[in-house]
């Protein structure tokens, strides 16, 4: 069976044969970047289509049906529309910040994908602080949101940005604490080693109750970090028209839209890497035949399957729950999620020290 | 000499800023503008500014005959157009001494209660959507659509029905009206528990509604609030019970009064009212009397000199029609006491000190229809 890692290795070999060492490195990095970028864009397109279809089926309607079979080309049509629209900058806006904000938000969310381990041996950069890097980078995004809200010179945008700031900074805490619970068990921050550590079972199964609690809390905090309903206060359509991106149009708006979905993909990748075994297939101890069948599904698809499962969860939340109020949102984080996460971290540490986990 | 300004005091003060919520805003459901003074998220002051859709309906009636005025009333509260028509028709009947056949009365009540159901369906959808849940909106519209189809078939219109006239109703009901309505009731009885399962038990929804937007009984009385909003503050004010018209006195139904005073109670009161409406329709649907659907009236009605007043219960509260006649074919002055205008008065006591999210949520439970405010 051809593995993804073999193909990557083969391309790398070919590049080093053809080009001098320096240029080969640059070319390899560029190719890896392009590969990740196109992968993410394809994922986003699938996500947008999936979101509309999931929403539609939850809401007793069909969703996009006209462009292409089952509306499959609808997203493409939307992208073309966004590209052709004028990117309007309001007269009284802070022009530089206004233009930079969406680019910053998008760049930051793409940067977070660098240390992701897509398959065995397929990783752009196996840094030893991978998880820390992702959490650090993804929290930069809030600066772009604040910039957008401030630069728009619109009161709704400002309130939206204010909310986003308060919300993302708060929820990062419980997200990081949930991640730490797993880090405590594995003792590594590298994405690759995290996945390798789950070869004999995913952490959500191995890690006892602390891992389950951490997983649930991480999904909640991640939903909040992505500004998705029921935590979409920064965009709260019924309250703030469109929140921080009220004044954006055309592709500038498109970048915010893209970012939302890339962020979803990033947090889902983290969640599946930490808790659901990344690209590790699902194995049941003792069922050899079953395990072999599972092994035949390529690792890359295992990762994507888990990612889309978590994305589906987030869509399910969005189309079911009403929105929280800002003080309830902060209360939920500071009074419930964070203290429980802290206790959970201590329990996880205890489990690790006593060797209670499997 | 100017006194020296105390800068230290200024430093501790946070700036307030004015945000115009409306006239174009997703959750004012029309061209209503709230001029809110915000301190961060907290509303310090709120001034509703109206008049964006003022059409001068009261003045226009002075140039139209009584029968023509009916057509304008449909355009006031477009979600209770039957009740508006009915109010205007009843007051003219009272003035001219027109007797309404029993069949027409039954049809009127059936249509009005169906309208109340449709209106509350729409309110339920938009209320939950204002709180942030989009899915219930589609469910509400699915069920409302069946009622609108009945209206369309029987009256020719979906919103501005112009169906109830002095002396009866415009047209007789179609033969398949009764099975259709029965089908609607059967569906609604299945769907109402579904609504409750989807929304009522939701923890976030309850958090957003309970204890929010408190309107005390005293405030409600002094502001002249009527309809479900007042009944949720413990005031018995259902015109159908207190001053029955068109044969409501013969029907068995409960006036839904609760004294929770908050958004949650207003929400529950409306859901309960839907059940009562279903109950009313069930009593009537098999017992529509035979006979004329309209008495013959003169082509041009002339009300005797004097003052006349009639009130009805619309889906939003008490609609009063008052007119002064000078004996000619046109009213000398016609005045509508619209429920939404007085219900809008709660905007300030309800929302000062609340947050933006609360403003949207509690105004959603007031259920305003803007053209009825401006007329």
Complex ipTM = 0.79
Mutation for testing the A interface, residue in B24, B27, B41, B142 having most A CBs under 10 Å: B41
* Residues of chain A below pLDDT 70: 1, 356-358
Q: Which domain holds residue B149?
A: 53-372
DSSP state of A245: G
User: To 10 degrees, what angle do helices A95-111 and A130-138 make?
Assistant: 160
Residue listed under structure tokens 């029905």: B161
Residue listed under structure tokens 């996500």: A47
Burial class of residue A165 (count of CB atoms within 10 Å of its CB; 0-12, 13-18, 19+): middle
Q: Which residues contact B138 (CB under 8 A, 6 or more apart)?
A: A59, A60, A61, B125
Q: Which residues contact A203 (CB under 8 A, 6 or more apart)?
A: A182, A185, A186, A197, A211, A274, A275, A276, A277
Distance of CA B236 to the CA centre of its chain: 17
Of A162, A321, A325, the CB nearest to B133: A321
- B206 touches A at CB < 8 Å: no
How far is it, in rounded angstroms, from Cα B231 to Cα A253? Answer: 45
**CB contacts, 8 Å: A327 with chain B:** 41, 355
Report the candidate in B89, B80, B82 with the shortest Cα–Cα distance to residue B108.
B82
Task: Give per-residue pLDDT as tens, B244-280.
Answer: 888 888 888 888 888 888 889 988 898 888 888 888 8
**CB contacts, 8 Å: B41 with chain A:** 159, 163, 326-327
> Is residue B4 predicted with pLDDT exceeding 60?
no
Is the CB of B356 less than 8 angstroms away from the CB of A239? yes
How far is it, in rounded angstroms, from Cα A217 to Cα A7? Answer: 37
For B:133-162, CB contacts with A below 8 A are: 133-135, 137-139, 142
- A233 touches B at CB < 8 Å: yes
* Alpha helices, DSSP H, located in chain B: 7-12, 57-61, 66-73, 81-96, 102-131, 135-155, 177-195, 203-209, 217-223, 227-231, 239-242, 263-285, 339-344, 347-351, 356-366, 370-374
Percent helix, percent strand, percent coil in chain A, to nearest 5 = 70, 0, 30
Is B313 within a domain?
yes
> Is residue B6 predicted with pLDDT exceeding 60?
no
Is B325 within a domain?
yes
DSSP state of B287: -
Question: Smallest CA–CA separation between B132 and chain A, in Å?
Answer: 4
Q: Which residues contact B330 (CB under 8 A, 6 or more apart)?
A: B61, B62, B63, B64, B65, B66
Question: Smallest CA–CA separation between A36 and chain B, in Å?
Answer: 34
Q: What is the DSSP string of B217-231?
A: HHHHHHHT--HHHHH
What Cα–Cα distance (Å) separates residue A125 from each residue in A32, A117, A130, A192, B88? Answer: 10, 9, 9, 10, 76
Is the CB of B25 less than 8 angstroms away from the CB of A323? no
How far is it, in rounded angstroms, from Cα A269 to Cα A250? Answer: 29
User: What pLDDT is stored for residue A358 in this prediction?
Assistant: 60
Question: Smallest CA–CA separation between B284 and chain A, in Å?
Answer: 32
Decide: helix, strand or coil at residue A283: coil
Judge whether B29 and B126 are in contact, CB under 8 Å. Answer: yes
User: What pLDDT is stored for residue B191 in this prediction?
Assistant: 86
Report the number of distinct structural domains present in chain B. Answer: 1
Q: What is the mean pLDDT of residues B227-233?
A: 88
Q: How many CA atoms lie within 13 A of B93 on its CB side?
A: 25
Is B103 within a domain?
yes
Instruction: Identify the closest residue of chain B to A242 by CA–CA distance.
Output: B26
Q: Which residues of B254-290 are buried (b: 16+ CB within 10 A; e: fewer)?
A: eebbbebbbbbbbbbbbbbbbbbbbebbeebbeebee
Bond before A274 cis per omega within 30 degrees: no
**CB contacts, 8 Å: B191 with chain A:** none
Tokens of A38: 């196109």
Which residues are B307's β-sheet partners? B324
How far is it, in rounded angstroms, from Cα B303 to Cα B53? Answer: 30
- A171 touches B at CB < 8 Å: no
Of B17, B139, B199, the CB nearest to A60: B139
Residue listed under structure tokens 């930069």: A140
Question: Smallest CA–CA separation between A193 and chain B, in Å?
Answer: 39
How far is it, in rounded angstroms, from Cα B339 to Cα B319? Answer: 6
User: To 10 degrees, what angle do helices B102-131 and B263-285 make?
Assistant: 150
- A326 touches B at CB < 8 Å: yes
- Going by their DSSP bridges, the two strands B331-337 and B318-325 should be labelled as antiparallel
Is B16 within a domain?
no
Of A60, A320, A327, the CB nearest to B142: A60
Compute, in degrees rounded to 10, the torsion defined by CA atoms B70, B72, B73, B79. Answer: 120
Question: Smallest CA–CA separation between A64 and chain B, in Å?
Answer: 16
What Cα–Cα distance (Å) separates residue A175 from each residue in A218, A221, A342, B137? Answer: 5, 5, 11, 32
> Is residue B7 predicted with pLDDT exceeding 70?
no
Say how many C-beta atoms besides its own lie within 10 A of residue A255's C-beta. Answer: 25
Report the CATH number at residue B130. Answer: 1.10.645.10
- A166 touches B at CB < 8 Å: no
Instruction: Identify the closest residue of chain B to A155 by CA–CA distance.
Output: B19
Decide: helix, strand or coil at residue B49: strand
User: What pLDDT is stored for residue B1 in this prediction?
Assistant: 55
Q: If residue A193 lies in a helix (H) or strand (E), which one and from where to where? A: helix A191-196
Judge whether B146 and B183 are in contact, CB under 8 Å. Answer: yes
User: What pLDDT is stored for residue A97 in this prediction?
Assistant: 87
Question: Smallest CA–CA separation between A247 and chain B, in Å?
Answer: 14
Is B121 within a domain?
yes
Number of H helices, E strands in chain A: 16, 2
Decide: helix, strand or coil at residue A316: helix
Read off the pLDDT band of B13 (50, 70, 90): low
Q: What is the DSSP string of A104-173?
A: HHHHHHHHTTTT-EEETTEES---TTHHHHHHHHHTTHHHHHHHHHHHTT-HHHHHHHHHHHHHHHHHHH
Is the CB of A326 less than 8 angstroms away from the CB of B205? no
Decide: helix, strand or coil at residue A61: coil
Compute, in degrees rounded to 10, the torsion defined by CA atoms A212, A217, A220, A223. Answer: -90
**CB contacts, 8 Å: A320 with chain B:** 133, 135
User: What pLDDT is stored for residue B5 in this prediction?
Assistant: 58
Is the CB of B139 less than 8 angstroms away from the CB of A61? no
Is the CB of A322 less than 8 angstroms away from the CB of B205? yes
- Going by their DSSP bridges, the two strands B306-313 and B318-325 should be labelled as antiparallel
Say how many C-beta atoms besides its own lie within 10 A of residue B348's C-beta. Answer: 15
User: What pLDDT is stored for residue A58 in this prediction?
Assistant: 86
- B210 touches A at CB < 8 Å: no
Residue listed under structure tokens 């003074």: B37
Is the CB of B135 less than 8 angstroms away from the CB of A159? no
What Cα–Cα distance (Å) separates residue A113 from each residue in A123, A125, A302, B209? Answer: 10, 10, 17, 40
HEC per residue, A297-311: CCHHHHHHHHHHHHH
Mean pLDDT of chain B: 85
For B:28-67, CB contacts with A below 8 A are: 38, 40-41
How far is it, in rounded angstroms, from Cα B227 to Cα B230? Answer: 6
Residue listed under structure tokens 């990117």: A87
Question: Smallest CA–CA separation between A216 and chain B, in Å?
Answer: 17
User: What pLDDT is stored for residue B299 in this prediction?
Assistant: 80
User: What pLDDT is stored for residue A136 in this prediction?
Assistant: 87
Say how many C-beta atoms besides its own lie within 10 A of residue B332's C-beta. Answer: 14
Is B23 within a domain?
no
Residue listed under structure tokens 């700031």: A165
Report the candidate in A142, A329, A169 with the shortest Cα–Cα distance to residue A236.
A329
DSSP state of B328: S
Judge whether A148 and A245 are in contact, CB under 8 Å. Answer: yes
């Amino acid at each position: 069976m051809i593995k993804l890692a073999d193909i990557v290795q083969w391309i790398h070999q070919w590049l080093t044969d053809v080009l001098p060492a320096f240029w080969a490195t640059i070319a390899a990095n560029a190719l890896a970047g392009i590969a990740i970028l196109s992968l993410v864009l394809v994922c986003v397109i699938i996500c947008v289509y999936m979101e509309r279809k999931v929403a539609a089926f939850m809401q007793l309607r069909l969703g996009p049906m006209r462009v292409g079979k089952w509306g499959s080309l609808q997203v493409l049509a939307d992208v073309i529309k966004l590209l052709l629209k004028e990117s309007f900058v309001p007269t009284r806006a802070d022009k530089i910040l206004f233009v930079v904000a969406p680019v910053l938000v998008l760049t930051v969310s793409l940067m977070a994908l660098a240390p992701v381990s897509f398959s065995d041996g397929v990783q752009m950069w196996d840094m030893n602080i991978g998880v820390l890097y992702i959490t650090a980078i993804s929290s930069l995004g809030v600066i772009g949101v604040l910039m957008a809200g401030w630069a728009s010179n619109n009161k709704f945008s400002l309130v939206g940005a204010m909310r986003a700031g308060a919300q993302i900074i708060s929820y990062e805490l419980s997200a990081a604490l949930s991640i730490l619970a797993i880090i405590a068990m594995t003792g590594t921050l590298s994405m690759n080693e995290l996945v390798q550590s789950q070869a004999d079972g995913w952490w959500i199964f191995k890690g006892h109750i602390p891992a389950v609690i951490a997983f649930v809390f991480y999904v909640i905090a991640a939903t909040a970090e992505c500004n998705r309903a029921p935590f979409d206060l920064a965009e709260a359509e019924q309250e703030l028209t469109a929140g921080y991106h009220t004044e954006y149009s055309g592709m500038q708006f498109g970048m915010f839209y893209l970012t939302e979905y890339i962020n979803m993909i990033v947090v889902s990748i983290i969640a599946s890497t930490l808790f659901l075994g990344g690209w590790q297939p699902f194995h049941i101890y003792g069922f050899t035949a079953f395990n072999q069948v599972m092994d035949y599904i390529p690792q890359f698809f295992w990762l994507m399957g888990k990612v889309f499962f978590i994305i589906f969860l987030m869509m399910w939340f969005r189309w079911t729950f009403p929105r929280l109020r800002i003080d309830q949102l902060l209360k939920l984080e500071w009074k419930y999620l964070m203290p429980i996460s802290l206790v959970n971290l201590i329990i996880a540490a205890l489990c690790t020290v006593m060797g209670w986990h499997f | 000499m100017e006194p020296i300004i105390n800068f230290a005091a200024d430093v501790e003060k946070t700036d307030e800023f004015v945000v115009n919520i409306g006239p174009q805003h997703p959750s004012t459901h029309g061209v209503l503008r709230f001029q809110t003074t915000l301190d961060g998220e907290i509303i310090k002051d709120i001034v509703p500014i109206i008049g964006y859709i003022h059409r001068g309906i009261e003045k226009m009636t002075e140039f139209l005959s009584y029968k023509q005025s009916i057509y304008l009333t449909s355009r006031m509260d477009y979600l209770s157009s039957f009740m508006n028509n009915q109010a205007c028709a009843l007051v003219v009947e009272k003035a001219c001494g027109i007797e309404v056949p029993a069949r027409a009365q039954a049809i009127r009540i059936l249509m009005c209660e169906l309208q109340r159901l449709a209106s509350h369906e729409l309110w339920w959808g938009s209320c939950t959507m204002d709180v942030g849940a989009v899915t219930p909106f589609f469910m509400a519209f699915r069920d409302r659509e069946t009622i609108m189809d009945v209206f369309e078939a029987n009256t020719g219109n979906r919103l501005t029905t112009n169906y109830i006239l002095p002396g009866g109703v415009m047209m007789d009901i179609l033969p398949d009206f009764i099975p259709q309505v029965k089908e609607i009731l059967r569906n609604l009885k299945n769907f109402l528990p579904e609504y409750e399962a989807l929304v009522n038990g939701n923890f976030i929804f309850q958090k957003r509604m309970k204890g929010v937007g408190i309107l005390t009984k005293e405030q409600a009385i002094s502001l002249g609030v009527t309809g479900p909003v007042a009944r949720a503050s413990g005031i018995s004010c259902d015109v159908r019970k207190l001053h029955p018209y068109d044969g409501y006195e013969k029907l068995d139904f409960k006036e839904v009064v609760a004294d929770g005073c908050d958004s949650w109670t207003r929400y529950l009161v409306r859901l309960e009212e839907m059940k009562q409406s279903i109950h009313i329709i069930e009593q009537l649907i098999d017992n529509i009397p035979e006979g004329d659907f309209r008495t013959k009236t003169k082509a041009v009605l002339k009300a005797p000199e004097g003052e006349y007043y009639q009130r009805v219960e619309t889906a939003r509260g008490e609609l009063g029609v008052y007119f002064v006649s000078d004996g000619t074919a046109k009213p000398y002055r016609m005045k509508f006491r619209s429920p939404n205008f007085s219900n809008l008065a709660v905007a300030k006591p309800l929302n000062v000190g609340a947050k933006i999210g609360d403003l949207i949520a509690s105004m959603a439970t007031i259920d305003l229809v803007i053209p009825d405010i401006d007329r």
